[in-house]
């Protein structure tokens, strides 16, 4: 099993993740990829790596051909390769497959895919040498990040091109960035040979099968799935905070969030979201101000009343995605693969369909949560629907435009999110002389989900900004403790009612508050109960 060791409080070192035969957790992937945790290798797993390597070396000496050990690859799987050409075969495989193009992929994604490939290598099911896993761990710990390009993976056989760029660096070739800290996203650009030499890492000379083992896997799409799950766990709680602020600011009722009502439809995520809304709105003077027979409102709009149903469905989708991620994290993906009883077998486990499907499913949920958020923002700005607030929440109506165009920004993002929700996994394009005649497009699904999550973050930020202004304009009525804490947080970056001003910096500042989890954390602390 893998473990996260806590940081030494006497140093500034990040936590350490131990990689062994068992699966990594999503939290461990995030710790290494996003927060700079170092990697340690479990001694028992290193013993299994050595044992499996002995099997490969025995097969390499066999005059009978064995795929990936003494043969070519893909459509060339029947071509026998003489012993004195096999090192060149593995190096040529990596060099030719490192064929990515486009913008550089984010540091956290590259670290995630390297860690996940290392995790599979440490299962002892791939037949690599001990020095190979030690080199991958050393590259991660040295803050060396291979330059991986945006385009190149079809998601079958796994993420070949992105993983090849990483393997190329382990060979002392290609491009890297060297970071001095976990927050140094860009890092200094240099060549791999220089970076490895500076870190005291000897470049690998690949042995039989090792090139295949380093590039056959779903690690890129899986790494992005793990990071997305981490993001969305925070963002869906933030969506509940934003919805509570809007319900309160638009003089909505909390009665529809009653626990007994949601027991009538026992969807797990819906119950969680409704409970969050009850906690966030508890004790709100604004909500209390319009309860009773004098209130003539029969029902709130769907974007207020049905928030638990939509946010809850997104939570259930996220839970399903996490279960798929957990299964994939427990997988040993290579082709061919060494079985526990010593067989070397070809297989199709590198196909990314399971991961690709849930990546697309999450993009659908993200688009819908953002769409509902934007509708709540829009209600605040329409004097026919905002329960007595100024049009567009403007300071001087007619002179000021207020938050009119902030809603345009949210609407434009939501429109793009709908396009990004079109699944990549229904597409396939044949490759490798029709040997790989059906591919998953999981990498593409993951890349667009990352853009979708960025869009959701911004849409929620605009709702939080709008609801904060709306709640401030309800004075002398006071918001509840949790929502009021967020209003105060937003005010700290200057987003308060007043005459028109340059609005973009405020949107960016509040987006950062949402992305960093501060909106959720401030509301949660004031509510006195954790948000699920």
Rounded to whole angstroms, the Cα distance separating 135 from 123 reads 16
The pLDDT of residue 428: 86
Q: Do the Cβ atoms of 359 and 218 come closer than 8 Å?
A: no
Antiparallel, parallel or unpaired: β 16-19 and 38-41:
parallel
CB 369 within 8 A of CB 314: yes
Tens digits of residue pLDDT in 31-79 = 999 999 999 999 999 999 999 999 999 888 777 777 778 776 665 666 7
Task: Tell me the chain's radius of gyration from C-alpha atoms.
Answer: 26
At 329, phi and psi to the nearest 5? -65, -25
Phi-psi category of residue 54: left, alpha or beta, with phi > 0 → left and psi -120 to 50 → alpha? alpha
pLDDT of residue 74: 61
Non-local (6+) Cβ contacts of 384 within 8 A are none
Q: What is the pLDDT, as a whole number, of residue 298? A: 64
> Nearest to residue 51, comparing CAs of 132, 126, 117?
126
Q: How far apart are CA 15 and CA 18, in angstroms?
A: 10
- The pLDDT value recorded for residue 256 is 95
Residue-wise pLDDT tens digits, 458-491: 999 999 999 999 999 999 999 999 999 999 999 9
Q: What residues in the chain have per-residue pLDDT under 50? A: 1-2, 6-13
Residues 6+ apart with CB under 8 A from 205: 87, 91, 171
Question: Whole-model pTM?
Answer: 0.94
Paired tokens of 417? 């999110």
Number of helices (H) and strands (E), helices first, in the chain?
A: 20, 10
* Structure tokens belonging to residue 75: 């459509």
Whether residue 163 contacts residue 214, with contact meaning beta carbons closer than 8 Å, is answered with: yes
Judge contact between 150 and 105, C-beta under 8 A. yes
List active site positions: 67
Q: Which pLDDT score, from 0 to 100, does residue 1 have?
A: 44
The pLDDT assigned to 499 comes to 97
CA distance 471 to 475: 7
Q: What was the pLDDT predicted at 294?
A: 62
pLDDT tens, 365-404?
999 999 999 999 999 999 999 999 999 999 999 999 999 9
Three-class SS state of 150: strand
pLDDT at position 13 is 44
What's the 3-state SS for 481-527?
HHHHHHHHHHHCCCCCCCCCCCCHHHHHHHHHHHHCCHHHHHHHHHH
């Amino acid at each position: 099993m893998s473990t996260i060791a806590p940081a030494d409080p006497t140093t500034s070192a990040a936590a350490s993740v131990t990689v062994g035969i068992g699966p990594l957790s999503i939290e461990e992937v995030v710790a290494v990829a996003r927060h700079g945790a170092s990697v340690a290798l479990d001694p028992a797993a290193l013993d299994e790596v050595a044992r499996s390597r002995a099997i490969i070396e025995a097969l390499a000496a066999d005059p009978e051909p064995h795929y990936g050990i003494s043969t070519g690859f893909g459509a060339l799987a029947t071509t026998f390769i003489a012993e004195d050409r096999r090192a060149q075969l593995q190096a040529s495989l990596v060099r030719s497959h490192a064929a990515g193009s486009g913008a550089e992929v984010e540091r956290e994604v590259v670290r995630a895919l390297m860690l996940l490939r290392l995790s599979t290598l440490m299962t002892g099911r791939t037949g690599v040498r001990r020095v190979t896993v030690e080199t991958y761990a050393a590259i991660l710990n040295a803050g060396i990040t291979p330059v991986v390009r945006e385009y190149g993976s079809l998601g079958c056989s796994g993420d070949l091109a992105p993983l090849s760029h990483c393997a190329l660096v382990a060979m002392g070739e290609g491009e890297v960035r060297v970071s001095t800290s976990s927050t140094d996203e860009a890092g200094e650009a240099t060549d791999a040979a220089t970076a490895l030499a500076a870190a005291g890492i000897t470049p690998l000379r690949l042995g039989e099968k090792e090139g295949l083992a380093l590039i056959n896997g779903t690690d890129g799409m899986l790494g992005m799935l793990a990071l997305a799950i981490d993001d969305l766990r925070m963002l869906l709680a933030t969506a509940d905070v934003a919805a509570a602020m809007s319900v309160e600011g638009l003089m909505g009722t909390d009665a529809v969030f009653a626990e007994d009502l949601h027991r009538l439809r026992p969807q797990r995520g819906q119950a969680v979201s409704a409970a969050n809304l009850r906690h966030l709105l508890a004790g709100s003077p604004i909500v209390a101000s319009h309860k009773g027979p004098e209130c003539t409102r029969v029902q709130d709009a769907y974007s207020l009343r049905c928030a638990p149903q939509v946010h809850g469905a997104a939570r259930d989708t996220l839970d399903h995605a996490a279960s798929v991620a957990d299964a994939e994290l427990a997988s040993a993906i290579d082709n061919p693969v060494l079985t526990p009883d010593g067989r070397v077998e070809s297989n199709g486990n590198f196909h990314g369909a399971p991961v690709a499907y849930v990546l697309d499913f999450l993009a659908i949920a993200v688009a819908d949560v953002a769409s509902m958020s934007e509708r709540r923002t829009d209600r605040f700005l329409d004097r026919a629907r905002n329960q007595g607030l100024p049009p567009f929440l403007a300071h001087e109506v007619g002179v000021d435009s207020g938050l009119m165009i902030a809603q345009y920004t949210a609407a434009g993002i939501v429109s793009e999110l709908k396009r990004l929700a079109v699944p990549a996994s229904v597409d396939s394009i044949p490759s490798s002389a029709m040997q790989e005649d059906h591919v998953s497009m999981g990498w593409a699904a993951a890349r667009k989900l990352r853009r979708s999550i960025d869009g959701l973050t911004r849409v929620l930020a605009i709702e939080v900004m709008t609801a904060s202004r709306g709640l401030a304009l309800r004075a002398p009525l006071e918001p509840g403790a949790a929502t009021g804490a967020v209003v105060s947080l937003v005010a700290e970056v200057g987003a308060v009612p007043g005459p028109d001003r340059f609005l973009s910096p405020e949107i960016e500042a509040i987006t950062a508050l949402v992305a960093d989890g501060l909106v959720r954390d401030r509301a949660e602390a004031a509510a006195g109960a954790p948000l699920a």
